[in-house]
Amino acid sequence: MSASLSYTVEDFDKTIPCKTVLTVGRDKNSDIVLVDLMVSRNHAMIRRIGHGDYYLIDGGSSNGSYVNQHRVTMPKLLKHGDKITIGGIDFLFEQEVTIQSDEDAMVMEDTIVHDTPEIKKITIIVADIRGFTSMSEQIPIRALTRMMNTWFNQVSDVILKQDGIVDKFIGDCVFARWEADEDEVTTIINALEAAELISEVTEQLNNDFTELTEKLHIGVGINTGAASVSTGVDNSAMGDAVNVAFRLESATKMLGKDIVLSESAYRHFPEEYWKDQEQKIRVKGKRDPVRIFAIDFDVLPRLIKKMKASLKK
């Protein structure tokens, strides 16, 4: 879905289309160059994730970036009509919205059919930074903004590298997925590799940001199951399988483990890893206990290697 930024500078009205990455700042190489001392050289960017989600990412600027008068401290999902303020300039974010008239009944009917959600088997990963809320209150806002933008960009790249789809970012949490209709095992491997890489990205932040008062680490939930996936521009997954993945991530805190997987996911592991180590836990929204298996990140290299070897046989 296409989007654009409209703004006025020196009495000239301008509209700039949003591409995959649109940069804003004083630097002459920025896509939108603002000659304003309140604007940093590399002030902010708008990055498209997936088919039509656009996020405003502040670059840790001195004076901040604002959406609807609220300062952005972590990547902010933009909506049609949002007002973005950078320095002394106000931008209007506009995103294409398709409206069909009564005269286009046939076209509208086709569109409705096209946008009807599909039921697909998917592998889901939910990764969340633990203790983020308390930590965010203890470090300077500029450092927090730079840190979260680094995490956002690198985690997005990790998911894409592993052939996944970033469904959405929710604060300090990423929800991503792989279609598993044809090759479930490969999607489980991809999810495990993504979890390992996201953990490495998060660990690196501990070295790069000396302002941190506590060590950052993540919890991960992985589930495989049927979900309703919209086929329109939203392209988001919903349903019980998604909800369970979020609950499994929450369970990592209770279990004191890095990763919690559902039975539909860990059953693809070599049996030696999970035999006699399964557990049953209660999760919100499920009447019966859910069978799970929990592991730590240090197990992943050997496990992934063994699963890949089994695929070649």
Please say if the pLDDT value at position 107 is more than 70: no
Q: Specify whether domain 3-95 bears CATH 3.90.1200.10.
A: no
The CATH 2.60.200.20 domain(s) of the chain lie at: 3-95
Integer Cα distance of 298 and 7 in angstroms: 50
Q: CA 285: distance to chain centroid?
A: 23
| Alpha carbon distance 309, 68 (integer Å) | 52
The pLDDT of 16-32, averaged and rounded, is 95
> Region 152-169: what's the mean pLDDT?
95
Tell me the Cα Rg of the chain.
22
In which band, very low, low, confident or very high, does the pLDDT at 93 lie, cut at 50, 70 and 90? very high
CA nearest 187: which of 166, 164, 160? 164
Percent of the chain scored above 70 by pLDDT?
Answer: 92
CA atoms in the 13 A half-sphere facing the CB of 47 = 19
Start-end ranges of CATH 3.30.70.1230 in the chain?
114-311
Across the chain, mean pLDDT equals 90
Going from the C-alpha of 205 to that of each of 48, 64, 202, 215, 234, the distances in angstroms are 23, 21, 5, 9, 31
CATH code for 114-311? 3.30.70.1230
Reported as a pLDDT band with limits 50, 70 and 90, residue 236 is confident
Rounded mean pLDDT, 154-161: 96
Amino acid at 125: I
pTM of the model: 0.81
According to DSSP, the β-strands at 3-9 and 89-95 are antiparallel
Average pLDDT over residues 155-179: 94
Q: DSSP string of 91-111?
A: EEEEE------GGGHHHHHHH
Q: What is the pLDDT of residues 266-301, one digit of tens each?
A: 999 998 889 888 999 999 888 899 999 999 999 999
Instruction: Please state the separation of Cα 290 from the chain's center in Å.
Output: 25
Strand intervals (E) in 75-230: 76-77, 83-86, 89-95, 118-129, 165-170, 173-179, 218-229
